[in-house]
């Protein structure tokens, strides 16, 4: 058993001319819940797909428990994709059969108990389930494996706050203690409390990797507030804030210079 | 008592404070066994490692002692608890006085008002 569960060195992924990941060097240990944070298009899903072996890197290397992605790593990685990939005529029961056949670390009893707790009918077709129920069912399947690495791509996007709590509690209550959970999301304030560590991805590069409490200690603010600062973009418009009012001018985009404030004709200045 | 996590401070420090409050309030009585790290973490909806850090730090303050096999126990030292209770009380009073000061009351006026109210 390697000490570091994930090691990426000089990882790059291009789609034609577009660079999705520029140069990612990353080490993630065991027994942690890690947030993979970044705005849309920053490379979160690409990185996760590379880690599960669904994509091949353009350059660089990935090691999971010391091995390149392949049959071994797939047996220890439990992946929740960002969208439903099951045929919608299937029932919860069919899916359990599926998982039982595919993964020897799948604990069916556990999955069934979790469905029962949720009041989910085992013979209900996916087609007839609400979006939230589908998400919960998928998460139950993924978390019922005794995997070493759980890769959860946007597990709480698009569900209501109560469903988010259910999903986060399910993750907290069911991950394997020697295993690591990677959660990609941009809903930071919802997940911040459950994370040990965060990785900020910006335009295909890791701009920060730190523990949540270290960020709070050194910055005096939450990870959510820091994220808003690091990824702040200034919208174009007549009423753009004057540069003086930016509380984080250092993070403002270099190119887009806001015009000098227009003379205010209405008299009342928006402070 | 609800677990409340605010934005501006480390989570573990807030957990430690709230665990202390629960001990002072008698939610976890003197000499009793604390729930496990996992249970507490699940209840507060936080990462177990963060809860672990809060509990270790409580051990450092002497309010809680770990028994290798049986888990963590609240201290039976009432004097220690009373001392910590006074610390909390002082900091609450400071908060009150500071709050009144921003409203433009002097210390004496604040004291007077409190006496009338209580």
Are the Cβ atoms of A194 and B45 closer than 8 angstroms? yes
Residues B72 and B83 in one domain: no
Q: CA of B79 to nearest chain A CA: how many angstroms apart?
A: 31
Residues B49 and B91 in one domain: no
pLDDT at A103 over 90: yes
- Provide ipTM, 2 decimals: 0.78
Mutate which of A175, A216, A217, A226 to disrupt the B interface (most B C-beta within 10 Å)?
A: A216
In contact, B85 and B25? CB cutoff 8 Å: no
Mutate which of B45, B47, B50, B54 to disrupt the A interface (most A C-beta within 10 Å)?
A: B47
In contact, B7 and A225? CB cutoff 8 Å: yes
User: Chain B window 7-66: which residues touch A at a Cβ cutoff of 8 Å?
Assistant: 7-13, 41-42, 44-50, 53
The verdict on B117 touching A (C-beta cutoff 8 Å) is: no
What CA–CA distance (Å, rounded) separates A121 from B21? Answer: 42
Q: CA of A160 to nearest chain B CA: how many angstroms apart?
A: 17
Strands B64-67 and B71-74: antiparallel
Strands A18-28 and A6-15: antiparallel
Q: What is the predicted pLDDT for the residue at A167?
A: 87
pLDDT band at residue A251 under the 50/70/90 scheme = low
Are the Cβ atoms of B45 and A222 closer than 8 angstroms? no
CA atoms within 13 A on the CB side of A40: 2
User: Structural domain of residue B19, as residue ranges?
Assistant: 11-76
Residues A189 and A271 in one domain: no
What CA–CA distance (Å, rounded) separates B73 from B63? Answer: 9
pLDDT band at residue A268 under the 50/70/90 scheme = very low
The predicted-structure confidence for B75-112, as pLDDT tens digits, reads as follows 998 998 999 999 999 999 999 999 999 999 999 999 99
Q: What is the CATH number of the domain that holds A205?
A: 3.40.50.300
Number of structural domains found in chain A: 2
Are the Cβ atoms of A172 and B7 closer than 8 angstroms? no
Residues B56 and B67 in one domain: yes
Q: What is the predicted pLDDT for the residue at A82?
A: 87
Mean pLDDT of A184-211: 92
Residues B17 and B68 in one domain: yes
Query: Which residues have C-beta within 8 Å of that of residue A251, sequence separation ≥ 6?
Result: A229, A230, A231, A232
Are the Cβ atoms of B45 and A193 closer than 8 angstroms? yes
Mean pLDDT of chain A: 86
Tokens of A23: 């140069």
Q: Which residues of B touch A216 (CB under 8 A)?
A: 8-11
pLDDT at B24 over 60: yes
In a domain, A175, yes or no: yes
Report the Cα A54 to chain-centroid distance in Å: 16
Residues A79 and A168 in one domain: yes
Residues B33 and B85 in one domain: no
């Amino acid at each position: 058993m390697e000490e570091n569960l994930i090691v990426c060195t000089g990882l790059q992924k291009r789609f034609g001319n577009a660079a999705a990941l520029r140069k990612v060097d990353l080490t993630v240990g065991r027994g942690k819940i890690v947030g993979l944070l970044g705005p849309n298009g920053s490379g979160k899903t690409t990185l996760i797909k590379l880690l599960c072996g669904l994509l091949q890197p353009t350059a660089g290397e990935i090691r999971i428990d010391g091995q390149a992605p392949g049959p071994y790593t797939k047996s220890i990685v439990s992946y929740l994709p960002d969208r439903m990939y099951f045929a919608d005529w299937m029932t919860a029961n069919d899916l359990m059969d599926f998982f039982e056949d595919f993964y020897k670390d799948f604990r069916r009893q556990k999955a069934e108990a979790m469905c029962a707790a949720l009041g989910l009918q085992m013979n209900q077709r996916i087609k007839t389930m609400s979006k939230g129920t589908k998400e919960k069912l998928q998460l139950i399947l993924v978390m019922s494996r005794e995997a070493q690495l759980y890769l959860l791509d946007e597990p709480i996007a698009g569900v209501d706050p109560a469903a988010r709590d259910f999903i986060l509690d399910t993750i907290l209550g069911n991950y394997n203690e020697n295993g690591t959970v990677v959660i990609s999301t941009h809903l930071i304030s919802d997940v911040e409390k459950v994370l040990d560590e965060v990785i900020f991805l910006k335009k295909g590069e890791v701009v920060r990797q730190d523990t949540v409490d270290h960020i709070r200690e050194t910055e005096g603010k939450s990870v959510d507030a820091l994220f808003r600062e690091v990824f702040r973009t200034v919208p174009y418009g007549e009423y753009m804030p004057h540069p003086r009012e930016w509380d984080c001018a250092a993070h403002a985009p270099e190119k887009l210079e806001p015009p000098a404030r227009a003379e205010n004709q209405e008299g009342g200045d928006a402070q | 008592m609800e677990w409340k996590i605010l934005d501006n401070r480390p989570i573990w420090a807030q957990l430690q404070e709230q665990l202390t409050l629960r001990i002072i309030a008698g939610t976890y009585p003197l000499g009793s066994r604390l729930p496990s790290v996992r249970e507490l973490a699940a209840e507060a909806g936080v990462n177990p490692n963060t809860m672990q850090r809060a509990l270790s730090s409580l051990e450092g303050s002497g309010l809680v002692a770990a028994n290798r096999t049986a888990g963590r126990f609240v201290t039976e030292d009432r004097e220690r608890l009373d001392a910590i209770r006074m610390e909390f009380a002082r900091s609450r009073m400071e908060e009150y006085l500071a709050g009144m000061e921003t409203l433009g009351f002097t210390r004496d006026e604040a004291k007077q008002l409190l006496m009338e109210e209580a």
